[in-house]
A and B are shown apart, each in its own frame.
Chain A
Amino acid sequence: MSAHENEEKMILDVNNLHASVEGSPILKGLNLSVKPGEVHAIMGPNGSGKSTFANVLAGREDYTVDSGSVSYSGLDLLDLDPEERACEGIFLAFQYPVSIPGISNAYFLRSALNAVRRYREESEVDAVDFLQLVREKMKLVGMDEKLLQRSVNDGFSGGEKKRNEILQMAVLDPKLAILDETDSGLDIDALRIVAEGVNALRGGDRAFIVVTHYQRLLDYIVPDHVHVLSEGQIVRSGDKTLAHELEREGYSWLESGHAREKTQEAS
């Protein structure tokens, strides 16, 4: 297969990405290729740069890209504003979703949907059609309809916030969804519900990058590929069994100096 053909098939192609926060380098040469329909898990110890990577993909301003390239669906991703990336189909489910007091969840989500639709030159949805759509999607994540009239994430429990992120994802229908520690702060039942919601959205060309510290989420959302991020680089890649291995061994082996070798083996 030629390199060109290979590129054609990628929804995301991250090449030697270096990024820093407030002057200190965090990502130090990250490479990752994702094909349509694939689910990639990114694991790694706290502070290894997982959230940084997710935020760089979403275009957060505090993160500076120092070098490298990211192509997304044939576009130069780094050239786009955060809202353009969102409208082009990138969705980030936040590790810590913020609240917006005084703005109802329903109003917020409809504004978002219509912003995306305007960008795509589609007609806006009215309140009635929107309600129908959102009700259907709420079933996916087992969310109480009362949450629609509450202010965005305001006073939501940890589980409600995470479900709300998945609901937004379901409504906005992204091409590439990035989930940042969607399992954190969830008990096992909530975790299962959220995972089922995600699984229901799998299929077709939609790709996922699932960022997690723990393996347990991956029992429910079974990945096609697993990568280990350490000190801003992917040091090891494998299939779903790698996650189990990490569960047994923890991340302490990263310090043993074999990390780089293992990556070579795996690829």
Chain B
Amino acid sequence: MSEAEELQKLADKEYEFGFVTDVESDSLPPGLDEDTIREIVRRKGEPDWLLEYRLKAFRHWQTMEDPAWAKVNKNVVNYQDLIYYSAPKPKKQLESLDEVDPELLETFEKLGISLEEQKRLSNVAVDAVFDSVSVATTFSDKLAELGIIFCSFSEAVKEHPELIRKYLGSVVPYTDNFYSALNSAVFSDGSFCYIPKGVACPMELSTYFRINAAGTGQFERTLIVADEGSTVSYLEGCTAPMRDENQLHAAVVELVALEEATIKYSTVQNWYPGDADGVGGIYNFVTKRGLCKGDRSKISWTQVETGSAITWKYPSCILQGDDSIGEFYSVALTNNFQQADTGTKMVHLGKRTKSTIISKGISAGKGQNTYRGLVDIKKGAEDARNFSQCDSMLLGDRCGAHTFPYVEVRNPSAKVEHEATTSKIGEDQIFYCNQRGISTEDAVSMIVNGFCKEVFSELPMEFAVEAQKLLAVSLEGSVG
């Protein structure tokens, strides 16, 4: 069998997480107007200030248009056809994990996130979000001893309204863009995390997002506040069932790092990408932004994006504090008909602020992969530094890679460096591996893993291993 055939043959490997959980859901009918928002607020028992916030966002959203600037082809999303709230029944307040619906626990078990295990063994605290609501948060009590707050967004609204009111929308205002406005109007749950002064969070914090119900949009909200001198490492993972409609995921993530605080935010995104013919898959339109508010603070984004039919996301850093540091490490893989338009914005405001951008795009099948980045050095950013490296790898000749690195410098002392490469996976590399006994499939995954090494080495150990496996699965059958 020729190499091309060999690679093609592997193409039909199915999406591993495409199953549907059979739980009864308590859902709103499709459609969106002010009454929908009032109903979400009523069901969640939210305070008036949040209703006001949502309504303002909704009214603003109605004045906006679905953006068309990214380099992607997409189906028109009909926002009146979507369901904006879906919660697995029963919807009572859970006191402990033992009260969680066993079907749900089993779902997370199948996804490799054993919430039961989490209770005892691992050093990762998980908040599991199923459709619109958080179903379980592990280790909350243990974290609470250190003053760390880690809970669902809904709970935070009830228990810590002062923090939520202070920081909600402070980094990503609802006016920011079409999807952030929509999210601010209808977000149903998500995670909240607060690390008090001087505390180094002793374990990884993690949110696991799962879309289950048909026709639902997922609009979660994550807010992480790291107080002075604290550090936290946070991981986000996501999957969805296989459906032949496009489901919308429009999240907002806000990070705030105060003086000398460090936030490391890692994402392994594996939403259902659609089938080999490009039918179905998640539209992943996400706004992620971190504010390095205090001096010497640091925010580091690491993302491994292998899923979704379309990914639009630009995890960004606003480097406000002097000597603050922003980092963006990204691997984006597109196979079959997947499209990714991703990158980052580094906005330098403070003096001696520093940013690093490492982006690795891998395109296979008919996948289209775009890096879009902005390095924006403002006038007051004396002696700012940026280093950007954007590498693209093509597997086969039906895919594409595109790079749009924008740079704006308003302070002459800035030093900005940009490097970019595009390479095709070499047949000579594959043959070299074959000649040493390594199969073509293993060779491709090895070569691609090598290409992504600088990014994987930024991930927490166990997630790096996950990411490598995920990449291998996503790549199967990719070179034609």
Given contacts A61-B427, A111-B442, A115-B439, contact A102 B434 (CB under 8 A): no
| Cα–Cα distance between A92 and B435 once the two chains are bound (Å) | 7
| Cα–Cα distance between A109 and B2 once the two chains are bound (Å) | 24
> B123 on the interface (CB 8 Å rule)?
no
Given contacts A102-B449, A102-B453, contact A115 B431 (CB under 8 A): no
| Cα–Cα distance between A97 and B436 once the two chains are bound (Å) | 12
Contacts of B437 in A (CB 8 A): 83, 86-87, 112-113, 115-116, 119, 172
**Cβ B434 vs Cβ A97 within 8 A:** no
Contacts of B438 in A (CB 8 A): 83, 111-112, 115
Binary CB contact string for chain B from 421 to 461 against chain A (1 if under 8 A, 0 otherwise): 00000111101111111111010001101111110000000
**Cβ A58 vs Cβ B435 within 8 A:** yes
**Cβ B1 vs Cβ A81 within 8 A:** yes
Q: Restricting to A68-111, which residues have a CB under 8 Å from any CB of B?
A: 81-83, 85-87, 91-92, 94, 97-98, 100-103, 108-109, 111
The residue on A at minimum CB distance from B6 is: A81
**Cβ A168 vs Cβ B436 within 8 A:** yes
Binary CB contact string for chain A from 133 to 150 against chain B (1 if under 8 A, 0 otherwise): 000000000000000000
Most buried by A among B433, B440, B452, B454: B433
**Cβ A94 vs Cβ B447 within 8 A:** no
Pick the contact of B451: A59, A92, A98, A102 (CB < 8 A): A102
Contacts of B436 in A (CB 8 A): 86, 108-109, 112, 115-116, 168, 172
> A60 on the interface (CB 8 Å rule)?
yes
Binary CB contact string for chain A from 223 to 255 against chain B (1 if under 8 A, 0 otherwise): 000000000000000000000000000000000
> B46 on the interface (CB 8 Å rule)?
no
The residue on A at minimum CB distance from B391 is: A101
Most buried by A among B434, B447, B454: B434
> B3 on the interface (CB 8 Å rule)?
yes
**Cβ B429 vs Cβ A98 within 8 A:** yes
Contacts of A263 in B (CB 8 A): none
The residue on B at minimum CB distance from A84 is: B437
Pick the contact of A100: B427, B434, B450 (CB < 8 A): B450
| Cα–Cα distance between A112 and B438 once the two chains are bound (Å) | 6
Most buried by B among A81, A91, A92, A151: A81
| Cα–Cα distance between A81 and B446 once the two chains are bound (Å) | 19
| Cα–Cα distance between A92 and B437 once the two chains are bound (Å) | 11
Given contacts A98-B426, A115-B437, contact A61 B431 (CB under 8 A): yes
| Cα–Cα distance between A123 and B428 once the two chains are bound (Å) | 29
B394 → chain A closest CB, angstroms = 15
| Cα–Cα distance between A108 and B2 once the two chains are bound (Å) | 23
B169 → chain A closest CB, angstroms = 40
Q: Restricting to B85-119, which residues have a CB under 8 Å from any CB of A?
A: none
Pick the contact of B432: A98, A102, A115, A116 (CB < 8 A): A98
**Cβ A97 vs Cβ B432 within 8 A:** yes
| Cα–Cα distance between A46 and B357 once the two chains are bound (Å) | 46
**Cβ A100 vs Cβ B435 within 8 A:** no
B435 → chain A closest CB, angstroms = 5
A96 → chain B closest CB, angstroms = 8
**Cβ A82 vs Cβ B434 within 8 A:** yes
Contacts of B446 in A (CB 8 A): 100, 103, 108, 111
Contacts of A98 in B (CB 8 A): 426, 428-429, 432
| Cα–Cα distance between A111 and B429 once the two chains are bound (Å) | 15
**Cβ B450 vs Cβ A103 within 8 A:** yes
Given contacts A81-B1, A83-B437, A83-B438, contact A60 B431 (CB under 8 A): yes
| Cα–Cα distance between A215 and B435 once the two chains are bound (Å) | 27
Most buried by B among A62, A91, A115: A115
| Cα–Cα distance between A103 and B1 once the two chains are bound (Å) | 27
B60 → chain A closest CB, angstroms = 45
State the 10 A-B residue pairs at the shortest beta-carbon distance, nearest first: A102-B450, A102-B453, A112-B436, A82-B434, A103-B450, A115-B437, A86-B437, A116-B437, A83-B434, A87-B437
19 contacts between A and B (CB under 8 A): A59-B435, A82-B434, A83-B435, A83-B437, A85-B435, A86-B436, A94-B432, A94-B435, A100-B450, A101-B451, A102-B450, A109-B436, A111-B438, A111-B442, A111-B446, A115-B439, A115-B442, A116-B437, A172-B437
